[in-house]
Structure 1
Amino acid sequence: MRKAVFGLFAGLSVAVMSVQGGSLSALAAEKATPVPTASETTSGQKASETSSGQKASETPGTYQLLFREGVLDKVAKDAVLDYAIHRNGWSAPQQQGIAPEASKFDGSLALTTGADDSVVLTLKQGERKSSAGTFPRSVGNPVIMYFLESVLRDMANQAGGSPFYIRNRIKAALLEAAEVKPVSVTLDGRDIQAQQVTIHPFAKDQARDRMFGFADLKVVAILSEEVPGWYYSLSAEAPRTVGGKETGYSNVLTLDRETL
């Protein structure tokens, strides 16, 4: 299942680039990077155990939390989950010929579940609508794949790096330990318990000095079984300059409503 999800993760580039702009011909030549096997971990530890000796199945890892399977099982057929998207800011020097607001986007992403076990993503901005792809329910909620692809494309466009390299680093971060803590959020007027998962994909990257503010990119997911579709919010934030305090790039996706 992990390889299938990562394959779709890479394939979502087509949908993201069609909305954000880019060369589809170049993307067509991309080959999916092999995913590390279950025995490969960054610490040399067996993937079947944690540092405390517990089995991985007893303590879900970063990948299992963020790409949890079956999260759409409780979502009714033909239901629609609407996610608000707010993206703006820069974390790299302005490129000549590119407007300062080139990364700004205010719109929504609609997830529609079909009767044939398919899931359709539709991006909306004002009166404009564009398809972001159709996926099997078995992969879980594909919203996170779209979100991560949009982040890596924005980073590549601003900092000038390779989207393939950035994607591979994010994949690697999904197989490493993350910061996880309990939080309380409000949904439909009620307080619910959730988990906040935070990763820093480029904290130890050897190419940090060429990533500008994106070297300190932080990706945060707030998750809960009480939230339809599992994701309460997904956000990515980077300072304007590396090590800086002022926020530059920001991309936030938040569940707005469920329509039955």
Structure 2
Amino acid sequence: MPRYVSPVSIPAAWSRLVDDAAIFPPGDAPLHDATAAYGARSAEDGAELVGTFVLRDTDLPLVRGFGGPLSVVCTGGAGQLAGPIGLAAKLGLTVAGVEIAVRDLDDLAGNVRRVALAAADLGDVPVYVELPHVANSGAWLAAADEVAASGLRLKFRTGGLEASAFPAAHALARWIDAALDRETPFKCTAGLHHAVRRTDPETGFEHHGFLNVLVATRLLFDGAGVDDAVIVLKQHEPDTLVSAAHELDLAGARRWFTSFGSCSVSDPWADLRELGLVS
């Protein structure tokens, strides 16, 4: 299902920012419907905003004739990284990235080293390592050191189906700062459907905004402190963030904040249009 995307006409800050995770909660779209929608999306519907299609490694055998780039979420441990890449090649699918969560809370750094050993067989495919929310910041930072030393990338979980899945602004700011300090690109997943921080009226959960995250990333890269980034991440006022978007080189920040997974493409696209950041 090849998808033709015309030469990028939206600003570079937003190009391929959203990874289509329609099959994941809370969207839970059927795989066939989601891949069909990905292939049929037009420029008017935000095609240029979309990068990869995200699916689980266990979904690969069900995919046929899909021409878009895939981000494959590994559901097992480090030893299972190579299998999905080989299967995708046999099926004629293009893997643009692999994502894996570190689960050994007693040895985060050691777990990352095992992932790095397995990832060495994947060639140039980027591997994003999701580190868990832990109270021991020293263990988290040591694991981030291993990610950086191995040339891997970081993945931050920014939301979910429970309040505990949403990191506090100061935690997210420290994660971003740690990634930049290690010159390590990162992506985010979950909870970033909207551009600006908001309180969900149904769940009461406080959602981070992807515009907040991108502006905070740029400011941290430019030398701002973590406390300044926290203020930006907590900002609910759209006009303040839009002004920052016009003043800052957000396209340059995309070198570090590469993308975020979202089960909705229409929500972030609608927000960017409403804010006047795309036409």
Same fold (TM over 0.5): no
Higher relative helix content: 2
Higher relative strand content: 1
Q: TM-score range by the shorter chain?
A: under 0.3
Q: TM-score, normalised by structure 1?
A: 0.24
